[in-house]
Amino acid sequence: MDKNALKAVATSVRTLSMDAIQKANSGHPGLPMGMAELGAILYGEVLKHYPKDPGWANRDRFVLSAGHGSMLLYSLLHLSGYELTLDDIRKFRQVGSSTPGHPEYGYTPGVETTTGPLGQGVGNAVGMAIAEEYLAATFNTERKIVDHYTYALAGDGCMMEGVTSEVSSLAGHLKLGKLILFYDSNGITIEGKTSLAFTEDVLDRYDSYGWQTLEGDAYDLDGISRLIEEAKRETSKPTLILLHSTIGKGSPNKAGSHTVHGAPLGDEEILASRKNIGTPEGEDFYIAPVAQEYFAGKQESWYQKYEEWNREFEIWAKENHELKSLWDRFHNGDIGIDDLPEFKEGEALATRSASGKVLLSIAEQLPNFIGGSADLSPSNNTTMPDYGDFGPHNRKGRTLHYGVREHGMGAVANGIHLHGGLRTFTATFLVFCDYMRYSIRLAAMMKLPIIYVFTHDSIFIGEDGPTHQPVEQIASLRIIPNLLVLRPGDAQETAAAWKIAAERTDGPTALILTRQKLTVYPKQDKDWRKTVIRGAYIVKDSEGTPERVIAATGSEVNLALKALEMKEPGVQKSTRIVSMISLERFLAQDDRFRTEILPSGVPVFAVEAGVGFGWTAITGTRDRILSIDRFGESGPGNEVAELFGFTAKALADML
């Protein structure tokens, strides 16, 4: 270890960070300045990485969970040779730059995930560690082609967020020995000292989770190196390394204060800091020549390790033709779904039950498809008994048991996909999607094709009452950009919805499924399987141009068909019923398609067992929406619907 060079790297991290933040007049200098030594050791001595190939399959992963400290990461990426220039650093937090305020996946080479919402990155790291274990168990022979660590850096704020507790508990249970979490313990948050609200013993907490816990000084280079080696020697537990640090270290007047957490230092303090840390007072964005030389000298050794792995991979591929073929399937994005269960007209089953049958078919066709439920797999119908359970003693299991940890489940699922090589799903009751909402939002932002199985989708779940009867959740999911919400009306549509979700590559999909049985109805559009991907299709058409259209989703398609049967023949013949499996996908179509489904000037009625929000986009008026705009009631589902006036007769009376 060249300690002089590492100190020069740390100094350069401090100067780049404080100057970029000052130039932007926005940002968080405290963490980058406080954790510069750790960053120098990680990127210079510890990480197995190759900056010329940021997507190298066997690289170590580093997640900055405390994403507000993004300049730490950007400085290190630039210094170590990733495709991030000094001009990019100068454009920190500017529109269109590759150095946004918080790290964003897909924008900056070397950034593994979008972070900033505290604790999410810890969950992502747990997911990456799960993926590493699964892929290693699947592909390693005597040659280890999957063999890397997952590192993450969290701060006091991450430790306070509940999602961190959820995922850390799970990681300890799963004995993820190749997960190493650094805790920047500086005792400061935005409001002041952490003691205002946070006095627990974090090491004791992580001991109870089943982690190895270590402690050291954030500025002792030898000590940090020893702690990392000790963490690596423990193979049956994840490791938490608590590093005592000073926020804003290097700033003579603001270090150790909450004033340096989330605001530029100011011109005077910048000058004082340069003098204090020994850099040229008149030179901004200073990089120590020793730091540049150090990283220049690292390029060849990194390349040699990278090429060594490539050679090993080539030998492994020649020795293991079937495994190589499987590897290619895992990594080449081939996700065509061709063979799905058939469901007959007139058959009655809950869409959650149909989903369970389809999921097993998907799992058979996609060998890299893993996932699980938040302790609800028997109710969500998401068990995969033929493929085993993932756990400490079976790293090849494809069913994940998340326990009652919805928020953690969402964050972990994002990490599993971000790692590469795997597709994944999660499952819970629809009403609990609120617990995992931020993880869903991040998946949509990062364009991750996570599949969410949300069952028990309305007041029709009955006796569990308003706490478990979702009413606003479907509408709230629809407003998340890039989240595709599919609410199939019967078992056949459920199979089609799964195919859409499984073949999607540019964002997540939520499947909204019933507890109660629904009858498989005849479909007048014989090409409906091709049409449904556009969000809507005609289930029952009128004779000639319709005089009215009923747009329904999920269980309400059956309700609409029953309502129409109550009307006189003339109304029946002049009414079109549309299954609008995805309102937002339909609204995104061109005018021609939309008017083919909903002809101009024809009154549209909408019916859904949830709030009416959003449906005026097709009805034009609230008066033609049959919805539920209040919380539910405990009792048998049909009786609750009668109480609320949400019945086939009520819809028939509207027509």
Structure tokens that stand for 196 in this block = 């205002």
pLDDT at residue number 8: 98
Strand runs labelled E in 218-368: 239-244, 348-350
pLDDT at residue number 338: 87
Q: Please, which residues bridge with residue 512 across strands? A: 454
Q: Give the Cα separation of 265 and 276 in Å (integer).
A: 14
Q: Which of 332, 330, 376, 327 is nearest to 355 (CA)?
A: 376
Type and span of the H or E element at 596? helix 591-597
Sequence-distant (≥ 6) Cβ neighbours of residue 492 within 8 angstroms: 343, 520, 523
pLDDT at residue number 336: 79
Given a contact cutoff of 8 angstroms between Cβ atoms, the answer to whether 81 and 52 are in contact is yes
What's the 3-state SS for 334-376? CCCCCCCCCCCCCCEEEHHHHHHHHHHHHHHHCCCEEEEECCC
Q: Give the Cα separation of 283 and 279 in Å (integer).
A: 8
Q: Give the Cα separation of 242 and 181 in Å (integer).
A: 8
Give the three-state DSSP class for 104: coil
Using CB atoms within 10 A of its CB, is residue 115 exposed (0-12), middle (13-18) or buried (19+)?
buried
Q: Give the Cα separation of 470 and 641 in Å (integer).
A: 13
Q: Give the Cα separation of 443 and 284 in Å (integer).
A: 37
pLDDT at residue number 60: 98
Amino acid at residue number 320:
N
Q: How many CB atoms lie within 10 A of CB 324?
A: 17
One DSSP character per residue, 628-646 reads --S---SS-HHHHHHHHT-
| Chain center to CA of 615 | 28
Give the residue ranges of the chain where pLDDT is below 70: none
Determine whether 406 is an active site residue.
Answer: yes
pLDDT at residue number 510: 98
Structure tokens that stand for 393 in this block = 């003693």
Q: Tell me the HSE value of 124 on the side-chain side, using a 13 A CA sphere.
A: 36
pTM, entire model: 0.98
Point out the catalytic residue in the list 406, 493, 584, 608: 406
pLDDT at residue number 478: 98
Using CB atoms within 10 A of its CB, is residue 234 exposed (0-12), middle (13-18) or buried (19+)?
middle
pLDDT at residue number 282: 87
Q: Which of 497, 623, 646 is nearest to 562 (CA)?
A: 646
pLDDT digits (tens, 9 = 90+) for 617-637: 999 999 999 999 999 999 999
pLDDT at residue number 337: 87
Type and span of the H or E element at 575? strand 575-579
Q: Give the Cα separation of 600 and 602 in Å (integer).
A: 6
Structure tokens that stand for 360 in this block = 């097993």
Sequence-distant (≥ 6) Cβ neighbours of residue 332 within 8 angstroms: none
User: What are the φ/ψ torsions at residue 212 (nearest 5 degrees)?
Assistant: -80, 135
| Chain center to CA of 210 | 25
